[in-house]
Structure 1
């Protein structure tokens, strides 16, 4: 007997309308109509329930309904594919989550080690930066940005590896309105002289920069104007000491 006939006879035997029968199987009335006309078929769980209530074995129903067998087989194959796809997606999500967790752990370790080293060197945190002051200079180190989470090797970028030293204003050789700053990077040591001389239309200090060697000596003295050279000559001992300390700090912190 066709499955549609089986469902129709079972409904009539129970003296139920399609609406009542639909409520019994938790589907819509239109679904019952489609089952009876064999436009589509019940799922396997519902078939088992129909088999039990009609007294017709599930084996008999399947033998007489090749289209139903094909439909069930198709659903089973789709279910297997869905399960495999779901497993793959879950595995990918798990891998990505694990990777992000590991990378964040590496980031935290990198930053914690960096900050611990700064504190061991005597730096103190003020806002987002670290500072250390000695008799001549105030040293400043910036807190670097977290590396990109997708960078496999979690490390600071070279552009973030630098230390700045600013000559203290109480230095007796420091003239009014003059800032003396040294910036140490991996490749360069630069001296900045910022003088408070202005033009009428320019209210910002004039900033001049000069390259220093590893000992704090000006590399190209001939490029300095007379005033800047006099400033450098007066402060060369302090600058040399500042560069020496910058080299030591840089080596401890970044190398």
Structure 2
């Protein structure tokens, strides 16, 4: 087990006094490697809370640059970051939050050629993308690599969250959405709008799921889709099963 330094004992003191975490759990976090796909509305709170928690290595993947319209929800970026690569802007902010962890930045899109390399050595992947093609690709790549995946999505005043755990007969993302939904029913944020703080709710929940997976705590949201409605201040849960005919995990 990795030994914590005196500084780390102080920084992570509120984790260490949790019986379920303790020194051994914090050492797991410090030794963990997590891929965060996207440095936008979801990726911002995901990466900030994982950095603060002491996840040892964050692999940040995004090919976009910071735009002024991003700042209403993408809290890892600041006004003076407009025009910069999102991964560079995010890494700078995260290093100020916690200079004791490592960052790998990749200014590129996930594709079939680079997915396996990016996932190599990762304990968890977290999806903060905004399109189904990327979600399907990351789902399939995580299944092949045996890496758990935490997926979030946003629209207007709503968000959703689920966790994919490879093996154990549990369902994957294609079991939940066998086919790409009609784009008119799932418009992106720039088309439909988004209440900025909703991204914070879902992204933070994704960070919690990620920490649970690393620490082996509680029950992951495997086979369960959490639906959040900000206007009614409510959460609902929909259970889904593995499809025998699923092309990814069936």
Name which structure has the greater RCO, CA cutoff 8 Å, separation 6+: 2
Same fold (TM over 0.5): no
Q: Which has the larger radius of gyration?
A: 1
TM-score, structure 2 length as denominator? 0.22
Q: Which structure's residues are more often helix, by fraction? A: 1
